[in-house]
Structure 1
Amino acid sequence: MHSLLSQEDLAFKAHCEAFASQTLAPLAKKLGDINDVPQELRTCLAESGLYGPLFPEAYGGTGLSAVRICLAREAIAGVYAPADTTLAMQGLGGYPIVLAGNEDQKKKYLPKLAAGQRLTTFCLTEPEAGSDVSAIQTRAVADGDHFVINGRKRFISNGFSADMGVVFVKTPTAEKPNALSAFIIEKGMPGWNVDWRIELMASHDIVEFEFNNLRVPKENLLGPVGGGFKLAMQTLDLMRMSVGAAALGMARTAMERSIQYARKRVQFGQQISKFQGVSFKLAEMAVDIEAAQCLVYLAAIKKDRSDPAASLSSSIAKLHATEAAFRCIDQAIQVHGGMGVVKGAVVERLYREIRPLRVYEGTTEIQKLIIANHLIKQPK
């Protein structure tokens, strides 16, 4: 699939892989499991150039590129998941401003996000609104020159470390009782409280927010009132395929580790790689990874070409790549045997890190619904 990429894309790929192995891997070993984004990681990512493809050149980026977002996530996810999460959230929290921000908003926020001077997040999910976005209860009410926001958000990645975010809230009208709107919010605004931090199975900065009479200036409204749902879906369409890229990176690391282990592990007088049961697992991993790679980058290429089918391809890529990566990592643990379930082993870490990717940005089941709806709506 990489033969379809430009020379510039391939150069960026090489840059990402060099950064991952030479800079990020030593830092990951030093930092270990973390539940925030320490300054060392912030600085490391800010200096890496990996934020560039998330933002237009006019605002400090290197030009929006779904392909390069995927290349970056594939390169770093298998090395250090907290770095991948931070990159992803910079995209999820920044892209709504790229899409719907006015010129003042873009100039104010995007250059600092592109430079890594500020971290952002994407505030959509609530205690009673996960897959069902229409169930959002957090509300914004106009009050003079402000909107007043009350409600809760849950499972907000990088929510503790973020300096700002884009929040999606209900702004009901008689005609559209479930209408959503999007606002840029900043840490330090009175009424935005990190209520509690959530501990997940894998290292992750993730929290629940409470908004208690949060006053947001009207100039922080992104796009028109009622335009929030479309904006959220457009953002997920861009970033969803990159979840598949992150899964691909994790699967590739698992396969590489499995090959290394199978070559050196001796049982019954020979390397276990020579046993058919083990070699078949490696072959199956390779097939899953190759197929996932093709689907992820096909979706990314379509997105960069503004192909109308990009949304469908994005869901297909996310579904297949995350499920395939889970299979690969599960088999990698089997190849490693007892060493695979030892706390701290690479494949043990990957097993905990891959599982949430089958949920983030739309569960596997939601992807199936999206894909089926696309198919049903296609003209005969």
Structure 2
Amino acid sequence: MPAFALEPEQTAWCARLRTLAARRLRPLADKGEPGRVNRPLVAELGRLGLISRLFDSGALALCLMRESLAYACTEAETALALQGLGAHPVHAHGTPAQRERWLPRVADGTAIAAFALSEPGAGSDAAALALRADGEKAEDAQGAGTQRDAALGGGPVAEADGPRRWRLTGEKCWISNAPEADFYTVFARTTPGTGARGVTAFLVPADRPGLTGTALEMLSPHPLGTLGLDAVPVTADDVLGETDRGFRVAMGTLNLFRPSVGAFAVGMAQAALDATLDHTRRRDAFGGKLMDLQTVAHQVAEMALRTDAARLMVYAAATAYDAAAPDVPRRAAMAKLLATETAQYVVDTAVQLHGARALRRGHLLEHLYREVRAPRIYEGASEVQRGIIAKELYATHAASHTPREAP
């Protein structure tokens, strides 16, 4: 399917989602407490079958869902996305037992998932993770396990007769849905001094001993917090994917969700643009309507131009992901970068054209103004996306061009 056009069925589905969000999800969102997990809202997303679609649809469908929900109810959009972000590693890399235990509950909205990657000293540089996974070995009756561990420096040891064990120690920060999630996808360093190659992903239920959390009060209204891990026990049964290859789990998840962050931004930009069209068409100013002023008309045109360009970039990235194209990291970074920066511009311009009324608590644009800032930071800040784009461009160029020898 071309990235620049949607099928009529897709367009109709998006319209139904916007209506559904306004009628059934918006009232539940309004009853929620900012900064807290809204479990009734998540449960309704489950009842409507929207969460399960995260796992049986492609990237384009995910983007269409996020854009449509964001237009009418950003809280519902974010609740849906966080379920997907936290549970996608389980869906894509989990064992049959892990999937059977958690995915049905995530899908029906009775279990809250979270993606725990960032740390106080490792936000944009995800490969600099410091949370330790200190290896243990189940002791046999003669205590030989302890002796072998000591001989190997205390690292995790492969067992022929039992699973490996680790203790997770450190801190995670800026974790969405923390500390209220029911389980966390936690990324920890299993092999020191190896950068991205020594990271392992673990599925950590919230009731594990040594796991604590604190909520953070943030500008954005969705739940966010810190996690403290004090020798939290995990075993090989909790590993997602392979030991020391958790960075692939993280990046694979982000490559899917980064374009859809762009879709979230596009939904907000479209809502701000539509509100501005309505306001400038009705507002009296200088003997006419606000829309009659050339400077206003040009600003509105620029808002629409940038919003459509961002939407096309998001759809192109999602289509590339669904086609398993080799340039997904670059396209995903471009989509997130352009769409989030565009949404910031569009919402800010909308506020300016509305004037002081847009800053009153409860106004749509006041809400969007608070919501739109965070996506330029999370899941890789704008500066990180530029770095990814440049790295991918140079790698592609080097692979396809042989330098000519100097005369």
TM over 0.5: yes
Name whichever of 92-101 and 204-213 sits farther off.
Answer: 92-101
The code of the aligned residue for 2:187 comes to F
Q: Displacement of 1:4 after TM fit?
A: 3.2
Once the 2 structures are TM-superposed, how far is the Cα of residue 173 of structure 1 from its aligned partner? 5.5
Cα shift at 1:186: 0.7
Aligned to 2:36: 36
Q: Per-residue displacement from partner, 1:73-104 (whole Å, max 9, x unpaired)?
A: 11122433332222122111111112221222
Change (3 A) 1:162 1:287: same
Q: How does 1:49-88 map to 2 (within 5 A)?
A: 49-55=49-55, 63-88=56-81
- Indicate which of 165, 170, 178 corresponds to 2:184: 165
What is the CA distance between 1:135 and its match in structure 2? 1.9
Whether the 8 Å contact between 2:215 and 2:225 is mirrored in structure 1 is: yes
Q: Check if 1:209 corresponds to 2:227.
A: yes
Aligned to 1:102: 95
Structure 1 residue 52: deviation in Å?
2.6
Contact 1:139 1:151 in 2 (8 A): yes
8 Å contact kept, 1:147–1:216: yes
Q: Map Cα deviations across residues 31-61 of structure 1 (whole Å, 9 max, x no partner).
A: 3x51112332122211222213321xxxxxx
Question: 1:142-157 counterparts in 2 under 5 A?
Answer: 142-143=135-136, 144=138, 145=163, 146-157=165-176
Equivalent pair of 2:127/2:196 in contact (CA under 8 Å):
no
- Cα pair 1:121 1:166 within 8 Å, conserved: yes
- CA deviation after TM superposition for structure 1 residue 339, in Å: 1.2
**Aligned counterparts, 1:294-309, within 5 A:** 294-309=312-327
Output the amino acid matched with 1:65. Answer: G
Structure 2: tracts of 5 or more residues without a match:
139-162, 402-407
* Contact kept? 2:77, 2:264, Cα under 8 Å: yes
Q: TM (normalized to structure 2)? A: 0.87
> Shift in Å at residue 2 of structure 1?
7.6
Q: How far did 1:250 drift?
A: 0.4
Structure 1: gaps of 5 or more residues: 56-62
Structure 1 counterpart of 2:300, one-letter code: L
Provide, for residues 140-165 of structure 1, a one-character-per-residue CA deviation record: whole Å limited to 9, x for no partner: 12222532111100000011331111
Q: Does 1:222 align with 2:240?
A: yes
Q: Distance in 1 between matches of 2:215 and 2:319?
A: 37
Distance 2:297 2:211 in 1: 53
Provide the residue aligned with 1:17 in structure 2: 18
Deviation at 1:247, TM superposition (A): 0.3
* Equivalent position amino acid for 1:49 in 2: G
Q: SS at 1:225's partner residue?
A: coil
Structural mapping, 1:256-267, within 5 Å: 256-267=274-285
Query: 1:182, 1:221 within 8 Å by CA — same for their partners in 2?
Result: yes
AA aligned opposite 1:140: A
Given residue 229 of structure 1, which amino acid in structure 2 is its aligned partner?
A: F
Secondary structure of residue in 2 paired with 1:213: strand
2:5 maps to 4
d(CA) in 1 for partners of 2:193 and 2:316?
42
Q: Show the counterpart of 2:115.
A: 122
1:179 and 2:179 aligned: no
Give the total of aligned pairs. Answer: 371
Percent identity, aligned pairs only? 36
Q: Choose 1 or 2 for highest CA Rg.
A: 2
User: Are positions 1:200 and 2:218 aligned together?
Assistant: yes
User: How many Å separate the matches in 2 of 1:73 and 1:140?
Assistant: 35
Please, what TM-score do these two structures have when normalized by structure 1?
Answer: 0.92
1:254 corresponds to: 272
User: Which of 226, 247, 250 is the equivalent residue of 1:232?
Assistant: 250
Deviation at 1:70, TM superposition (A): 0.6
